[in-house]
Chain A
Amino acid sequence: MLLRLTPTLIVTLLVGPILAGLAMALLPAFGYLPALGGESLSLAPWRELLAQPGLARSTGLSLAVGLVTTAVSLAAVLLFLAGAAGTRLDRWLRRAVSPLLSLPHAAAAFGLAFLIAPSGLIARLLSPGLTGWERPPDLVILQDPWGLSLMAGLILKEIPFLLLMSLAALPQLDAPRRVAMARSLGYRPTIAWLKTVAPALYPLIRLPVYAVIAFATSVVDVALILGPTLPPTLAVAVLEWFNDPDLSMRFLAAAGAVLQLGVTLAALALWWALECLVRRLGKRWLVNGARVRGDRLLRLAGRGILLANTLAAGLGLVGLALASLAGFWRFPAALPDPFTLQHWQRALPTLGGPVTTTLLIAVAATLPALVLALAALENEQRGARRPAQGRLRSALTLLYLPLIVPQIAFLFGLVVLLEGLGLRARLGLVIFAHLLFVLPYVFLSLAEAYRRLDPRWARLALSLGHSPAGVFWRVRLPMLLAPLLTAAAVGLAVSIGQYLPTLLPGAGRVATVTTEAVALAGGGNGRVIGVWALVQAALPLLGFIVALGLPRLLWSNRRGLRGTP
């Protein structure tokens, strides 16, 4: 019975707080918040918002970052998939996807900063030999006013996300046969893939693409590290207004949060219009008969971007590691001289608390997420309802809601609401806020494997006299151990990387490795940032190592389970 309620429970759990949070952002945005003396509706907050210096620029930036990041990431993923030919490089790039995905956004952003800064690893490696630079060039690279470095930092993480989503969707499409068919008609492989598989793949990854747009338009932590500053992106500006000691600024911040929602929706609408345009133009291209030209170039582009992306993330981590071990490191020396363990030794005593808190929150959010996801999926199986049909499916697309509504827009209102209710269980609130983001990812990651498991296993077990509960515990769970652990690792990684959902509900009191690392960003001490960013990157990676290793260990004498099903 309880099982049947889970879809409803999940939807309520996700939609309720988001709607409440949005409402509590909307009311103060129009001047209504009795606790702060706002008793009547007015447009004053909006007038004040419009008077903020650089508002138009902030808004434009957020919009542009969202669209460009998404377009580049999607194009790179499609080109790579189109051109991938199963070479060793292609396989290596694919395998690198999971660890890249587990890398928290902030750590990736720090790594990129260490790589491309004027005094970064690349400039050091090329100097002074190739560049003639004896000291770092005075170039605007990081935090550039056009948001380019911010986009690059986001692309670094969104490419693996979209690639993984595509790889999960591809088996439904029987791509090799489509490509083989087109090739037999004289199409070069990359063009064949783009013309026969991509149009069918896109609808399957549309929601993840929308999630990328929403995330990139409203991201805070990456923008704090790599984003422009005068003015910052809209989400960062809203956070600053929200934290202003002058409480009347909260009305302005609320208006800003609503504007952020508008910007994200506008970005989605623009993208949708773009989709229509591409579909219309694409229709002609699909059947225009061009089948050879550009194949090589497209293939090289896809692989090139993927390779650059993976290398950038990897080298960024190397840069972080070097910095964390660096004694004095004069430009343009490629390596620090001397090396020292001092930064680690000094950080070690202060690492314990935040690491424990991080893991506690991650586990506390991931366990209920796993239980809820399993319950919903099991309910789906018992209802013998195919996921592709029925209202259930459409209800569960609401899972994407927390990924599409900008965090700052509803978390802001949620905090106002909870403060109003006098709730002070900080850690509890943080865990709950994390659950909102962990649950969708856990569900999406588990659903694929759960739904793909051959239904005959369950039928067989039932026909052998086992109850549905027995089938769940004795057949499905053990057989799905590997995907289950992977989903758990995804949940942990998502939780570990959360910045705003820790900062706002935790009232700053809940310190995780992510909030600590981002707080250090302003300090500009590369060595300490190196230490914290590496720790932040290592935690989710450990989860994935366990998730991959444990099934191998447990099933070491069961060949049928050793590969990831």
Chain B
Amino acid sequence: MRHPLSRPAARLAPLLAGLALAAPLAASAAPDLDDWGAVRDAARGQNVYWNAWGGDTRTNGYIAWVAQRMAERHGVEVVHVKLDDTGTAVSRVVAEKAAGNVDEGSIDLIWINGENFAAMRERELLYGPFAEALPNFALTRPEANPEVVTDFTLPTEGYESPWGKAQITFYYDSRELRGDSDELRGDGEGVAEPPGSIEALLDWARAHPGRFTYPRIPDFTGSTFLKQALIALTDRREALYAPVEESDFAAVTAPLWEYLDALHPHLWRDGRQFPDSGPALRGLMGDGELALAFTFYPSEPAAAVADFELPESTRSYVLDDGTLGNVHFVAIPFNSPHKAGALVLANFLLSPEAQAHKQDLTVWGDRTVLDVAHLDEATRSLFAIDAENPAMLAPEALHKTLAEPHPSWMTALQAAWQARYTAR
């Protein structure tokens, strides 16, 4: 997810039109979605290549568990193709289409959302609509939870199936920050409260130079930080929910650059260097280099404490006005040769068993997309969140969710950031 679609799509349009002529779409081996039994039968014995970002071991461990279950239950061999960047997979499908490969693609399922989904939809690289045909999809109650069918303002139209929920969550070491233990830090930064807003973050960074940073753009988590800051700072928030071309980018984003220019000198490494990814922030927190960090996965801090990566004094919170949240999905490329297997896998990912296992702190801690309140009693108990865990965010904190801007903003912000801060 680190790579931006940094070129304007307009320039690509004629090229793609030419390609579409050269390689007509053939929905290869498309299973009959009305007959789920037949889909399951067709899936048996298939190898499903699931391309998913592989930068986090907990996610990888969960996917390995899924693979094992799929082999046992459905006779489907799931191969996790670990990406360092979801853009790579998009590029691969584009390349395959360009080479006229319409039925023997190398990707069967892809973990995706936001600008990558928008790009694949725009270029007609996805198979679908399929989501509503998945028996477990109804458990998400889309009519009551529009976020499971909306991806960065775009309707998913059944071309991707929801998998999990993320929301920006800040965390810090209370022993250091609040001076809960005064044995070590006697340097005066002791009793400060963690910043509750983007504006307060700047003051906090001034007071604690070198103790905060964000991942290097175009990293996904880093880009989300930019959007979070932009939402807080701009006076034209509504413009962010329409394509970027429809507004004056420079004017809308001017407060953001002003803010970043002021913030950077007080960041880790004076803002001349940024960590590679969201998980890298966690590593720096664990090493004591940072005092404040954030993540897209609300339960990550608690999980990391259990894994010895963060100290037990870790605490989580969200900003006072709420933080950005989104749903992440899985989609099937148009040229996947194992669509039946991919469908059965997507359906399994939505099962209460798989969703509950995913939410388990000791496994991954990614929140479920199912409407838990409407599940039956026994199933609901699987999703109980351990409110006792001190590093865990209080569940009510997550009600303050800000919606993702239109995907074109992500791309534009990334390009502008890179042009502004590369080789500076």
Taking Cβ atoms with an 8 Å cutoff, the residues of A that contact B are 35-37, 53-54, 56-57, 117-119, 134-136, 138, 140, 143-145, 229-231, 240, 243-249, 326-331, 338, 340, 342, 346-347, 349-350, 419-420, 422, 424, 426, 507-509, 511, 516, 519-528
Contacts and interface: CB of A to CB of B under 8 A. Distances in A.
Contacts of B119: 245
Contacts of B116: 245
B84 interface: yes
Contact of B57 (A240, A328, A346): A346
A346 B362 CA distance: 12
Contacts of B386: none
Given A57-B423, A422-B101, A246 B12 contact: yes
Interface in B267-326: 268-270, 272-277, 279-284, 286-289, 307-312
Given A143-B273, A525-B283, A247 B289 contact: no
B7 A328 contact: no
A523 B108 CA distance: 25
B57 A523 contact: yes
Contacts of A338: 308
B95 A419 contact: yes
B3 A240 contact: yes
- Which among B90, B268, B283, B311 has the greatest number of chain A C-beta atoms within 10 A? B283
A140 B284 CA distance: 14
A231 B283 CA distance: 22
23 contacts: A37-B15, A53-B422, A57-B423, A119-B289, A134-B185, A135-B288, A136-B289, A230-B421, A244-B6, A245-B3, A245-B5, A246-B94, A247-B91, A326-B308, A328-B308, A328-B309, A329-B287, A422-B99, A426-B106, A508-B81, A523-B280, A524-B277, A525-B57
Interface stretch (B48-56, B345-353, B369-377): B48-56
**A-B residue pairs, 6 tightest by C-beta:** A524-B280, A524-B283, A54-B423, A245-B90, A119-B287, A138-B210
A48 B275 CA distance: 27
Nearest to B275: A524
Contacts of A426: 106
A491 to B, nearest CB: 26
Contact of B98 (A247, A350, A527): A247
Interface string B382-424: 0000000000000000000000000000000000001101111
Contacts of B95: 247, 419
B104 interface: yes
A520 B49 CA distance: 20
Given A229-B216, A342-B307, A511-B82, A247 B283 contact: no
A507 B106 contact: yes
B11 interface: yes
Interface string B196-208: 0000000000000
A330 B288 contact: yes
Contacts of B251: none
Nearest to A516: B82
Contact of A328 (B79, B311, B419): B311
B236 interface: no
B85 interface: yes
Contacts of B94: 245-247
Contacts of A145: 272-273
A538 to B, nearest CB: 19
A326 to B, nearest CB: 7
Interface in B120-136: none
B289 A519 contact: no
B37 interface: no
Contact of B273 (A56, A229, A511): A229
B226 to A, nearest CB: 15
Contact of B55 (A57, A342, A522, A527): A522
B155 interface: no
Contacts of A342: 307-308
